[in-house]
Structures are given as structure tokens and as C-alpha cells.
Structure 1
């Protein structure tokens, strides 16, 4: 989970990936729209497979806490 960062001044304080301006929601939206993990990686070469797995783990953890 250290790949997911929260910075008050970045993306409105939304959780982002490794301090980048790519939010957890951005990646989840892409995946839920039918993009494959490889499609996301192709669109954002600064991301890694581990980043996408961290996004999914973060979302699962948030859902579990509700």
C-alpha cells in the first residue's frame, strides 16, 4: 500500500499512485470501462503492474472497511 499516496494539494487530496498525478479512481475507471491492464500500462508507461495491483488492493481494502 506504500504505492498509494495522499497529498492534500494534488488531485484534490484523492489517493494517487506513487505521488504521480494518476489517481486510484483514474485507473479503476479505465479498468471498469473494459480496458485491460496492458491498455492502462500502454497509456501510462510510468505505471507498473505492481501499481495496478496496488490500486486493486486499495479499492478492495476500502470496500472491506465500509
Structure 2
């Protein structure tokens, strides 16, 4: 079981660990955000097209006997 520390010591440790983090620059954040938006758009278009195609094929199969 982990040893308990007081809140003040905990906050000091958190601050120490946070200072070790390498934060992305504004440019890196903007590029990453843009890439995510582009990939989400491609995925949405692909799945929309696949859904429409499968719906059309299913309507052809199910309307054969009608």
C-alpha cells in the first residue's frame, strides 16, 4: 500500500512533475488539430458513402420479390 503524504507535499510533487512535461508549441497544436479535423471529415464521408451504398444494395435485394 502506498504511503500517505500530506496535501502540501502532494501539490509540490505535482508541480515538480508538471514542470518536466514537454508542452507542444502553438503551431504543433494547430497542425495536430487540423489533421484530426481532416481525418474525421474523411472518415465521416467514407462511412456515409458506405452506409448509402449498403442501404441501396439492401433495397435491391429486398425488393426483388415485390
> By the TM > 0.5 criterion, same fold?
no
Tell me which protein shows more helix as a share of its residues: 2
Calculate the TM-score normalised by the size of structure 2.
Answer: 0.27
- Comparing both chains, which one has the higher relative contact order based on Cα–Cα distances under 8 Å and sequence gaps of 6 or more? 1
Calculate the TM-score normalised by the size of structure 1.
Answer: 0.27
Tell me which protein shows more strand as a share of its residues: 1
